[in-house]
């Protein structure tokens, strides 16, 4: 567990530094994720074998409780400034209607693509 | 109460609110409108109001969760790596749909919200609405958007997306489990992925792939595009 957390922290730190130095719009954790994926794909893992298992353990614990990790930030929707609350029709249009339309469009595209894929 | 005691109380209350929400969700056969994020955030909001603690103060004491969220984002590389062979076999449709879906999810949200009279500030916060929360939060920070609003919007998009997905599949006749997973991951990120795993492991694998790819893709194009557009005005 601890080595796993160390690896995740190391990748995120490198990601943060790259994102900062190159002045990239991609957030540090995302750069870290892409770097970790690249390392795993290429088999270029410089740490001991057991540490990979520890990373899996730590990663699973975090991903299994992903919802909990964004709960505090999510509470914000109940404390919006008044001028945002006044725009509830726009918020609903984006969350409900736009999401449904986008799902339907993706589904139509996938049906078309699958027909040509298989 | 001391600072430390307040912090401890708020972290404990957050864990408790989530745990209560989780118990309720499991007892109610995982009905999506009882998702622990929905009930948990509501419980915390009620508690903060009752204790007369401001949201800003609550956030100061719960930054620990944000740090862990960053690590969880890095950890998303693990399921991506594990399911890589599935991805490879369906790489064409996955790539095309993730790019198309990532753009369309953002464009439809911005278009409809603008039509409904949304302000510039609201549109900024809505732009990353279909992206998995840690990435959406980073994008919102870069856009100088209201992160509390973005998180709320992202979470409710996920819940409603998972809720409406069966209807979208029926309307379009989409039955392939891989494709259903892609639609869920692209449009309803983590909540959709959790629902997809409950349907079928293949659907779940494709939802997590689509969630990660859509997040990475959107992080690549959205902040840069908005910065370029804003500079243009």
User: Is residue B77 domain-shared with residue B52, that is, in the same domain?
Assistant: no
Q: How far is B175 from chain A, CA to nearest CA, in Å?
A: 9
Mutant choice from B77, B102, B193, B210 vs A, greatest count of A C-beta within 10 A? B77
User: Is residue B21 domain-shared with residue B124, that is, in the same domain?
Assistant: no
Q: Which of B46, B53, B32, B44 is nearest to B155 (CA)?
A: B32
Question: With contacts defined as CB-CB under 8 Å, which chain B residues touch A76?
Answer: 55, 59, 146-149, 151-152
Minimum CA–CA partner of B127 in chain A: A94
Residue ranges of B 95-154 with Cβ closer than 8 A to chain A: 96-97, 100-101, 104-105, 108-119, 121-122, 126, 129-130, 133-135, 137-139, 141-142, 146-149, 151-154
How far is the CA of B34 from the CAs of A18, B26, B160, in angstroms? 40, 9, 11
Question: With contacts defined as CB-CB under 8 Å, which chain B residues touch A100?
Answer: 164, 167-168
Residue A22 has pLDDT above 90, yes or no: no
Pairwise CB contact (< 8 Å): B62 & A105 = no
Residue A113 has pLDDT above 80, yes or no: yes
Residue with the larger pLDDT of the pair B59 and B148:
B59
Minimum CA–CA partner of A104 in chain B: B168
User: Is residue B18 domain-shared with residue B102, that is, in the same domain?
Assistant: no
Mutant choice from A20, A51, A107 vs B, greatest count of B C-beta within 10 A? A107
Residue with the larger pLDDT of the pair B110 and B191:
B110
User: Is residue B87 domain-shared with residue B125, that is, in the same domain?
Assistant: yes
Pairwise CB contact (< 8 Å): A34 & B216 = yes
Return the residue matching tokens 């999506």. B32
User: Is residue B111 domain-shared with residue B169, that is, in the same domain?
Assistant: yes
Question: What is the C-alpha separation between A44 and A101, in angstroms, rounded?
Answer: 42
User: Is residue B43 domain-shared with residue B94, that is, in the same domain?
Assistant: no
Question: With contacts defined as CB-CB under 8 Å, which chain A residues touch B119?
Answer: 83-84, 87
User: Is residue B5 domain-shared with residue B70, that is, in the same domain?
Assistant: no
Q: What is the total count of domains within chain B?
A: 2
Identify the domain boundary among B15, B36, B61.
B61
Question: With contacts defined as CB-CB under 8 Å, which chain B residues touch A77?
Answer: 41, 148-149, 151-153, 155-156
User: Is residue B36 domain-shared with residue B81, that is, in the same domain?
Assistant: no
Mind listing the pLDDT tens digit for each residue in A36-88? 989 998 886 677 777 888 999 999 999 888 888 878 988 888 888 888 888 98
Residue B232 has pLDDT above 60, yes or no: no
Give the three-class secondary structure for B49.
helix
Q: Which of B182, B181, B170 is nearest to B203 (CA)?
A: B181
Q: Which domain holds residue B25?
A: 1-61
What does pLDDT average to over chain B?
89
Percentage of residues of chain B with pLDDT beyond 90: 51
> Residues B171-185: what's their mean pLDDT?
95
Q: Which of B66, B128, B127 is nearest to A70 (CA)?
A: B66
User: Is residue B41 domain-shared with residue B15, that is, in the same domain?
Assistant: yes
User: Is residue B111 domain-shared with residue B189, that is, in the same domain?
Assistant: yes
Identify the domain boundary among B18, B35, B61.
B61
User: Is residue B34 domain-shared with residue B74, that is, in the same domain?
Assistant: no
Mutant choice from A103, A108, A117 vs B, greatest count of B C-beta within 10 A? A103
Residue B81 has pLDDT above 90, yes or no: no
Pairwise CB contact (< 8 Å): A106 & B186 = yes
Q: How many CA atoms lie within 13 A of B201 on its CB side?
A: 4
User: Is residue B2 domain-shared with residue B83, that is, in the same domain?
Assistant: no
pLDDT of residue B226: 83
Identify the domain boundary among B61, B87, B110.
B61
């Amino acid at each position: 567990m601890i080595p796993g957390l160390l690896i995740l922290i190391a990748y995120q730190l490198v990601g943060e530094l790259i994102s900062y130095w190159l002045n990239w719009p991609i957030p540090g954790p995302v750069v870290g994720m892409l770097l970790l994926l690249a390392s795993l794909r290429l088999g270029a893992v410089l740490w001991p074998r057991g540490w990979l298992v520890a990373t899996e353990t730590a990663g699973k614990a975090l991903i299994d409780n992903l919802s909990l990790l964004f709960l505090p930030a999510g509470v914000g929707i109940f404390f919006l400034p008044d001028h945002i609350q006044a725009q509830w029709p726009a918020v609903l249009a984006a969350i409900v209607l736009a999401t449904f339309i986008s799902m339907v469009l993706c589904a139509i595209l996938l049906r078309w693509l699958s027909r040509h894929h298989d | 109460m001391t600072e430390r005691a307040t912090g401890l109380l708020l972290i404990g209350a957050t864990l408790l609110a989530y745990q209560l929400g989780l118990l309720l969700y499991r007892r109610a056969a995982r009905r999506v409108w009882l998702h622990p994020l929905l009930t948990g955030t509501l419980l915390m909001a009620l508690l903060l109001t009752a204790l007369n603690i401001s949201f800003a103060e609550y956030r100061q004491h719960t930054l620990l969760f944000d740090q862990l969220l960053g690590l969880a984002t890095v950890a998303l590389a693990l399921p991506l790596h594990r399911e890589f062979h599935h991805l490879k076999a369906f790489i064409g449709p996955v790539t095309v749909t993730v790019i198309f879906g990532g753009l369309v999810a953002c464009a439809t949200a911005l278009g409809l919200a603008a039509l409904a009279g949304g302000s510039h500030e609201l549109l900024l916060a809505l732009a990353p609405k279909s992206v998995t929360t840690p990435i959406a939060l980073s994008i919102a920070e870069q856009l100088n958007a209201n992160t509390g609003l973005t998180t709320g919007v992202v979470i409710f998009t996920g819940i409603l997306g998972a809720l409406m997905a069966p209807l979208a599949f029926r309307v379009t006749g989409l039955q392939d489990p891989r494709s259903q997973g892609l639609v869920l991951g692209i449009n309803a990120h983590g909540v959709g992925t959790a629902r997809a795993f409950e349907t079928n492991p293949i659907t779940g694998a494709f939802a997590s792939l689509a969630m990660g790819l859509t997040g990475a893709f959107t992080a690549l194009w959205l902040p840069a595009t908005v910065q370029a557009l804003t500079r243009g005005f």
